[in-house]
Structure 1
Amino acid sequence: MRLTLVTGAAGFIGAAVVGRLLNDGERVLGIDNLNDYYSVDLKISRLERLRELGGDRFIFEQADFAENKALAACLADAEFDRIVHLGAQPGVRYSLENPHAYVQSNIVGHLNILELSRERRVTHLVYASSSSVYGGNDKIPFSVGDRVDHPYSLYAATKKADELMSETYAHLYRIPQTGLRFFTVYGPWGRPDMMPWIFTSKILSGEPIPVFNYGKLQRDFTYIDDIVSGIIACLDAPPRDDGDVKPGGSISPHALYNIGNNRPEELLDVIAIIEQACGQKAILDLLPMQEGDVPRTFADIDAICNDVGYIPKTTVDEGFPRFVEWFKSYHGLG
């Protein structure tokens, strides 16, 4: 039975991917450093669910993939043939406060995973990029063929650097790779630093919610189950090394895809959906645009739809009430 290595296995998207692989009967080796960027208890709860689901088909190692010696030591006896690299230091706003964490995790860490892929001759490396690489792109929708030379945050710059490093390794060592530019992922077991959690928590407690750019924001919100389906579809379809131009413009076995919902939503409309699910009105604290943020995201997903059959199915009218229901249950709010 094949073994897949998943980094960031205790994270939001990572844990969801591990869960899907385990449900499909596969074996998974997950690694995560369980840092305290947000609640470690939440990460441990995700891991407990995965252990219950997978039994001995799920192996977990606490390790920091940005520490090369520690990474090599924990994987020395493991035999895996593909990697889903989802571990990273996330968050646009936190990159303004702690830039060194982003370079260490997202650049040094990505290099370590590339070297691991080269040494092990993996059949496919799927890794997380971000829609943040588009910066203030005025062309709508965002396409993987667009230039992304003007990032608005260090986080975005590190993700663009990851794509460039992956292209280099795909060219030099012919390692099949797929980079996925995620668009505002949300859903049950999500992150406390993201809008759905912050807004739901504050609405339920009667606190004002921070609404940047005075609510004039659009986001291509993508439900976690749809994201996972796209990741697995890509994982099972590594790009061919046949000299053809891949999505993103590469002639190496390296494809870049947007993975989103292909439908930008007005932030104020989404707040109304959360209000209804919470059964309470929100108190809006209208604020100017936050440094490093962008006014809109909108994914052109034609390439991933055509190549691997990715079709997002969950609307915000369905997805956000599911998140609110999970949030209440997780916090014992009835």
Structure 2
Amino acid sequence: MLLVIILLSSIRYGAVSLSIDEIFSALQKQFTLDDTMNLNERIFMSIRLPRGILCVFVGASLAVGGALLQGLFRNPIVEPGLIGTSSGAAFGAALYFALGATFNFNAGTWTLPFAACLGGVISTALVFLLSQSRHDGKSSIVTLLLTGIAINALFLSGVGFLSYIARDPQARSIVFWNLGTMSGANWSSVIIVGITTVFGILISLRYAKHLNALMIGEEEAQFLGINLKSLKWKILLINIVMVAVATAFVGVISFVGLIVPHLLRIINGSDNRFLIRNSAILGGLLLCSADLLSRMVLRPAELPIGIVTSIIGVPIFIILLKKKNYLF
């Protein structure tokens, strides 16, 4: 119910406030194929409504991705951005913008998500390959996070280099990924992100019990018949697809995947069946709230949504680290 309320508020308020009558009138004209919409009605149908729905899908993707990784590594400070997925996806998108403009390459709506997914796959694979121990092939959480920081720096420097050599329109598009914004939302992006989000969540729920079994230890989970190697790569693949596609359309948005699962654990424990379902709802609610705040603070100007989530997320992240004694 709270998600619906926040979504309706996000759709209604902004640089131009829309009345309830205008919203219902726009929906009625859309269903009856009436082309006599006024300006506010067109703003609702073409800008506000797809933006609000995209916020829900992106927030759900990032939050569920964080819940999956935290369950897989049994650590509450892991999120997609810390293992290189987001920065790799941003690099893939930046490479698409820079090279696409140079070679006049544009293969359709799916090209940008594919480039972002490929970048996310490469960066995440590098993190896991480089963090593995030479002796037993396993990776500790500290090594994983430190390697993730290094790979993040590498790919973000690549994004900076591409924005430096790109022409002005492409450079602005690349900067868009670093800050994160929902201003480019349209119905095509809603459909693409919606497909990956819904299917990703449904598939994730199939592995919730496996992640619960993993909580008691890797050896115990193997005794219960769980193939840990297969489970790891399946969870990583689900996470990469959801997060990379979402990042392709809205840029790098940090801390959603960290904050949401941790808040849910405080509410009702660490059952991954509960975490995956409700991370989708709370993630959408959080990102809709951040988007509404980003549009209202400097109205009629707009604050990048990645800045808002970082301002909220950084203090919570530090508190979590101190609580778990990961800081000296």
| Interval of TM-score (by shorter of Structure 1 and Structure 2) | under 0.3
Q: Which has the higher helix share?
A: 2
Q: Which has the larger radius of gyration?
A: 2
Could you state the TM-score of these two structures normalised by the residue count of structure 1? 0.26
TM-score, normalised via structure 2 length: 0.26
